[in-house]
């Protein structure tokens, strides 16, 4: 039987190999640049779900603008803020 041994990623040789190859290539760099520049994903202030452009409800509470995924989340958040 000729079985391949699993590589221990936490062992010395594997760790050295991973560290040597730990550079970001041009494709990864471009992806991250595009992510940083083109999108700024935001989340619901109440339930922390990611917001889609078509489902954003913006509400100003005590002079601060908050973004929510629904009117229900906005109402729940506002009630929580009242009790703080």
Domain count, the chain: 1
- The answer as to whether 50 is a domain residue is yes
- The answer as to whether 35 is a domain residue is yes
Q: If you average pLDDT over residues 57-83, what whole number do you get?
A: 91
- The answer as to whether 54 is a domain residue is yes
Question: Does the pLDDT of residue 68 top 70, yes or no?
Answer: yes
Tell me the pLDDT tens digit for each residue of 43-52: 999 999 988 8
- The answer as to whether 49 is a domain residue is yes
Segments forming the whole domain that contains residue 57: 12-82
- The answer as to whether 3 is a domain residue is no
How many Å apart are CA 46 and CA 43, to the nearest integer?
8
How confident is the model at residue 21, as a pLDDT? Answer: 63
How confident is the model at residue 32, as a pLDDT? Answer: 64
Tell me the pLDDT tens digit for each residue of 7-45: 666 666 766 766 666 677 777 776 666 555 445 568 999
- The answer as to whether 52 is a domain residue is yes
Contacts of 1 (CB under 8 A, 6+ apart): none
- The answer as to whether 7 is a domain residue is no
How many Å apart are CA 45 and CA 54, to the nearest integer?
16
């Amino acid at each position: 039987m000729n079985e391949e041994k699993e590589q221990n990623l936490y062992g010395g040789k594997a760790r050295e190999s991973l560290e040597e190859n730990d550079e970001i290539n041009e494709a990864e760099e471009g992806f991250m640049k595009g992510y940083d520049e083109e999108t700024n994903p935001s989340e619901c202030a109440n339930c922390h779900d990611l917001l889609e452009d078509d489902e954003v409800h913006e509400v100003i509470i005590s002079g601060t603008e908050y973004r929510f995924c629904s009117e229900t989340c906005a109402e729940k958040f506002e009630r929580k803020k009242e009790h703080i």
